[in-house]
Amino acid sequence: MKAAIATRLAVMFAVAALGVFSLVGFALRHVLQRELDRHQLSEVNTRLEYVGMMVARNDSAEKWQSLRSKLDALTPLDGSVRFWVMSPNPRFEYGDAPTMLRERLSTHTGGPFVIDLEGRSMKASSRSFASNGERPAVQVVTAVDSTRFLDTLNAFAGALVALSLAGVALVALLGHRIAKVGLAPLSSLSQEAQSLSPRDLSQRLRLSPLPPELADLVSSFNGALDRVQRAYAQLEGFNADVAHELRTPLANLIGQTQVALAKERTAPQLEETLQSNLEELDRLRAIVNDMLFLARADQGETALHRVQTSAAEEVSKTVEFLEVLLDEAGVSVRVEGDAHAPFERSLFRRAASNLLLNAIEHSERGAEIVVAIAQQESKVRIAVTNPGTPIPEQHLERLFDRFYRVDGARRNSRDNHGLGLSIVRAVAKMHGGTVFATSTAGGNTVGFTLADAPAARAP
Amino acid sequence: MKILIVEDEAKTAEYLHRGLHEQGYTVDVARTGPEGHALTLQHDYDVIVLDVMLPEMDGFAVLRAIRTHKQTPVLMLTARDRVDDRVHGLREGADDYLVKPFSFLELVARLQAVTRRGRAQESTQLRVGDLEIDLLSRKAYRAGSRLELTAKEFALLALLARREGQILSKTVIAEQVWDMNFDSNTNVVEVAIKRLRAKIDGPHERKLLHTIRGMGYVLEVRGDKEAP
């Protein structure tokens, strides 16, 4: 399972804070180090200036003595500031400069430098003075202990690290709180969603007090609920339709059998009743078989006995079958184009026959029905167009629903119980295709597509 | 012709027995799979009608048992119309398959088809009353005068004449004449029969093409007592 959003956010905040604090910390430390360096240097230089002035004025060995005591006085007891004067004449020296320093100076080119003296790091600067009177040319060196500055820097860095860590922890904690508060609408939404009852399909999530990010989610969720409700209503309507379709023949069967048995009948009368019963029973059988066929397609059954076939040829065979009906209706059929695909012939003919019957039913005498067959990418498309009054948009998408009738009336219910186009859809589905319906002033087109390669399940 | 019906449902077994007996078959009925299997060991049947959903031993098991010693044609009946079942049954060696609810006429037609296999060539000249049909030249005459028939009308007439006296359902006709082997809810066959009737029976006193309401059509010479 993924961590809770609040926790994830808190961790992300903490990581971000750590980054920011580190960056700022490094920058601060760098600035401080530079400032401390500058400060140290100016301290060294100020002293060198001061001592340098005294040394420059000095021109005799007697005065050198008092200079020594002055320099002694300037040197603090803890040795944090040191002075050295080096000269070819030992009388004009001070501080007994260590060999290391002398060697360093012999190669040194100028500017401040760092020396290690008795375990402490010191910043030093030197300057040369030309001879004056008795005094030969001398070199003066001033050094200031850097340990104090380094200590300051280290203390500062330590404080920075500690503060940063505390800051990161605080940010993580606050981030968690903020996320919790920020996500409050989400948890209240989920509570609301949980309280939706499966019994009442009209319930929806409330939209008004939600932030815009969630409003989108809620409206798509509500959209899904809309569709579920519609599908459910359709299913209930469908069940009612099935019951209705079965009820009429059943009522006839029961009624006429009871009437026949209520009195003594002659053999021909009984035969007549039986014949009528048989017609009704055949109607029931046809409905039940069609319903089972549709159910099988819904359960994902695919066409198994697929053979590579010419669609135009099959349509022509179907037209031949319906010839007498076309003739009676005074309607002609024209087949345009052709395409080959693997399909189950009897299913294809069944679909084609249903489409043609539908077209015949809605055509005026003298009309021409056009069957257009075309290869479209990986599909074969069969479209049946008949001239007629345009079908309103809201009916088009429902044309393939079971028992759906555009005019709402149940005409032709003996021959066609309203499943013809549903069967077309089932056949298309069994071949990996779909159905479509369009309506223009030129006529109404209803048709289906078939995948031109067998689905993965096929043997 | 000797036939065995293996069916546990009492009403179905009863009407199949009566119906097939009236069609001229000698009929035995078994109510369970083992009983049916035992009967096939004792007798030689021409065809076996076997229900899939049987208690104790289902139809597939019975079929397997029969196939170990006999190659009698088997027609299976089922209430479940699933392709898997159909494929299963045919793979196990069934010769045909009918889904309930089926029409009795269709069952008879299938039984005939299953048992007719390997029969001698039929004659090319058919005669029903004063109706003559020449299958080779594809011409038909009624009382000596030539009938103007379309190709499909001729095929329809030939089918009815070949099965003279036998009721043919609309489904069988659609399948045999137009090769439409699906249950179509159209009145194509009705209309085609109506047109054919006008041509062959139209002006004649004695009608040959009869409608059996709710069942189908039959071509035969009937007695004088026939209702108009």
> For A308-351, what is each residue's pLDDT tens digit?
889 999 999 999 999 999 999 999 999 999 998 888 888 999 99
d(CA B218, CA B159): 10
> What is the rounded radius of gyration, in angstroms, for the C-alpha atoms of chain B?
20
pLDDT tens column, A272-306: 999 889 988 988 888 888 888 888 888 778 887 88
More confident residue, A382 or B58: A382
Peptide bond into B101 cis (omega under 30): yes
Note whether A321 contacts B191, CB cutoff 8 Å. Answer: no
For A85, residues 6+ apart whose C-beta sits below 8 A from its C-beta are A55, A71, A92, A93, A94, A95, A138, A139, A140, A141
> Please, which residues have CB within 8 angstroms of residue A15's CB and are 6 or more apart in sequence?
none
Test the A interface: residue of B182, B199, B217 with most A CBs within 10 Å: B182
What ipTM does this complex have? 0.78
Paired tokens of A174: 């606050």
Q: What is the mean pLDDT of residues B191-200?
A: 92
pLDDT the model gives residue A330: 93
Lowest-confidence pick of A60-64, A417-421, B221-225: B221-225
Helix, coil or strand: residue B128: strand
Categorize the per-residue pLDDT at A208 as very low, low, confident or very high, splitting at 50, 70 and 90: low
B101-155: pLDDT as tens digits:
888 888 888 888 887 754 545 678 888 888 999 988 889 999 888 999 999 999 9
Question: Could you tell me the pLDDT band of residue B16, with boundaries at 50, 70 and 90?
Answer: very high
Q: How many CA atoms lie within 13 A of A119 on its CB side?
A: 0
pLDDT for the residue A459: 38
Residue in chain B nearest A418 by alpha carbon: B185
Q: How many residues does chain B have?
A: 228
Res A372: pLDDT? 94
Q: Where are the alpha helices (DSSP H) in chain B?
A: 10-22, 33-42, 59-67, 83-91, 104-116, 151-162, 170-178, 188-200
Instruction: List Cβ neighbours of A434 (8 Å cut-off, separation of 6 or more).
Output: A425, A428, A448, A449
Q: Do A347 and B81 touch (CB under 8 A)?
A: no
Phi, then psi, of B93 in degrees rounded to 5: 110, 15
Between the two ends of chain A, the Cα-to-Cα distance in Å is 40
**At a CB cut-off of 8 Å and minimum separation 6, what does A376 contact?**
A449
* Integer angstrom CA distances of residue A386 from A277, A311, A357, A448: 37, 19, 11, 15
- At which residue do the structure tokens 């604090």 appear? A21
Task: Please answer whether residues B21 and B28 qualify as being in contact, where contact means their C-beta atoms are separated by less than 8 angstroms.
Answer: no
Beta-carbon contacts of A42 under 8 Å, excluding residues fewer than 6 positions away, are none
pLDDT of residue A105: 80
Chain centre to alpha carbon of residue A63: 88
State residue A90's pLDDT score.
82
CB-CB neighbors (< 8 A) of B193 in chain A:
none
Q: How far apart are CA A288 and CA A246, in angstroms?
A: 9
Mean pLDDT of A211-229: 84
Report the percent of chain B where pLDDT is more than 70: 92
Q: Which of A321, A325, A344 should be substituted to probe chain B, the one whose Cβ sees the most B Cβ atoms within 10 Å?
A: A321
User: Mind listing the pLDDT tens digit for each residue in B25-34?
Assistant: 899 999 999 9
| For residues A416-423, average pLDDT | 81
Which amino acid, residue A315? V
Supply the pLDDT for residue A270: 93
B141 beta partners: B132, B146
Mean pLDDT of A241-269: 88
| Residue A169, pLDDT score | 92
Residue A101 in this model has a pLDDT that exceeds 60: yes
Look over chain B and give the mean of its residue pLDDT values, rounded to a whole number. 85
**Full 3-state SS string of chain A:** CCCCHHHHHHHHHHHHHHHHHHHHHHHHHHHHHHHHHHHHHHHHHHHHHHHHHHHHHCCCHHHHHHHHHHHHHHCCCCCCEEEEEECCCHHHCECCCCHHHHHHHHHCCCCCEEEEECCEEEEEEEEEECCECCECCEEEEEEEECHHHHHHHHHHHHHHHHHHHHHHHHHHHHHHHHHHHHCHHHHHHHHHHHCCCCCCCCCCCCCCCCCHHHHHHHHHHHHHHHHHHHHHHHHHHHHHHHHHHHHHHHHHHHHHHHHHHHCCCCHHHHHHHHHHHHHHHHHHHHHHHHHHHHHHHHCCCCCCCCEEEEHHHHHHHHHHHCHHHHHHHCCEEEEECCCEEEECHHHHHHHHHHHHHHHHHCCCCCCEEEEEEEEECCEEEEEEEECCCCCCHHHHCCCCCCCCCCCCCCCCCCCCCCCHHHHHHHHHHHCCCCEEEEEECCEEEEEEEEECCCCCCCC
pLDDT band at B4 (very low <50, low <70, confident <90, very high): very high
Token pair 């969603």 in the structure block, residue: A193
A332 Cα to chain B: minimum distance (Å): 16
Q: How confident is the model at residue A414 (pLDDT cuts 50, 70, 90)?
A: very low
CA distance B171 to chain A (A): 11
Tokens 């002033």 belong to which residue? A441
pLDDT of residue A1: 52
CB contact under 8 A, A278 and B227: no
End-to-end CA distance of chain B: 35
Mean pLDDT of chain A: 85
Instruction: Grade residue A78 by pLDDT with cuts at 50, 70 and 90.
Output: confident
Would you place residue A190 in the very low, low, confident or very high pLDDT band (cuts 50, 70, 90)? confident
Structure confidence at residue A413 (pLDDT): 44
> Given an 8 Å threshold on Cβ–Cβ distance, is B187 in contact with A415?
yes
- For B:200-219, CB contacts with A below 8 A are 212-215
Query: What is the residue whose two structure tokens read 């069940």?
Result: A239
What average pLDDT score do residues B24-53 get? 91
Contacts of B218 in chain A (CB under 8 A): none
Is residue A370 within 8 A of residue A387, CB to CB? The reply is: no
Tell me: pLDDT of B173 over 60.
yes
Residue A121 φ/ψ, nearest 5 degrees: -90, 130
Residue type, A380: V
CB contact (8 A) between residue B180 and residue A268: no
- Residues of chain B with Cβ-Cβ distance to A417 below 8 Å are 185
* Confidence (pTM): 0.63
CB nearest to B188's CB, from A276, A292, A325: A325
What is the tens place of the pLDDT at every residue in A30-66?
999 999 989 988 989 998 898 888 888 888 888 888 8
Q: Is A279–B191 a contact, with Cβ atoms under 8 angstroms apart?
A: no
Indicate whether B86 pLDDT > 70. Answer: no
Query: In percent, how much of chain A has pLDDT > 90?
Result: 29
Closest CA to A139 of A185, A182, A97: A97
pLDDT band (50, 70, 90) for residue B227: very low
